[in-house]
Amino acid sequence: MGEKTSRLRQALAETQESEQQVLETVLAEQGPLLRGTFGRRRRVCGTAGCRCTKGELHESAILTAGVEGRMRQVHVPACDEARVAEGVERYRRFRQAKTKLIDLAKRKIMLVDRLSQALLAPYPKDRPLPPPKRFLRGERQKRRRSE
């Protein structure tokens, strides 16, 4: 039991350190965050004799984001392109950090459950009480995955 619980405690401490690093990244973010995707669109205007009819398409910067289940595009003026691109990139990193925090929290809960199960002592020794159903359910799920 000692070696197993020691490894679980170590894994829990490492997960906590990782979570703290990600949380510091989130707290350091100053914004602004811009939701969406920054990109460029090339198109033909349709004016006769324009350069775009000969293959030199007009290019414009756009911000694309989902709104109420539909994709919306917003023109980004040239003077705002750098600011919008940085805001979109900050939003992407922020969302990745949030996802990582969720994964680490799930891992911590799993490790705490495993540690409590490892520390659980049977009592009385001749006819011990069964483990809590939560542990049984987890063990069944583990067995199903391994099959």
pLDDT in tens for each of the 147 residues of the chain? Answer: 667 889 999 999 999 999 999 999 999 999 899 999 999 999 888 788 888 888 889 999 999 999 999 999 999 999 999 999 999 999 999 999 999 999 999 999 999 988 988 888 888 888 888 777 765 555 555 555 655
The two three-digit tokens of residue 57, written as one number: 């398409």
Contacts of 72 (CB under 8 A, 6+ apart): 64, 65, 66
Contacts of 6 (CB under 8 A, 6+ apart): none
Tens of pLDDT, residue by residue over 51-86, are 888 888 999 999 999 999 999 999 999 999 999 999
pLDDT of residue 67: 93
Bridge partner residues of 43 (DSSP): 58
Taking the CA atoms of 105, 111, 114 and 120 in sequence, report the sign of the dihedral they define. Answer: negative
pLDDT of residue 128: 83
Pair 109, 103: CB distance under 8 Å = no
Angle formed at CA 55 by CA 54 and CA 57, multiple of 5 degrees? 115
pLDDT of residue 147: 55
Domain ranges of the chain: 2-146
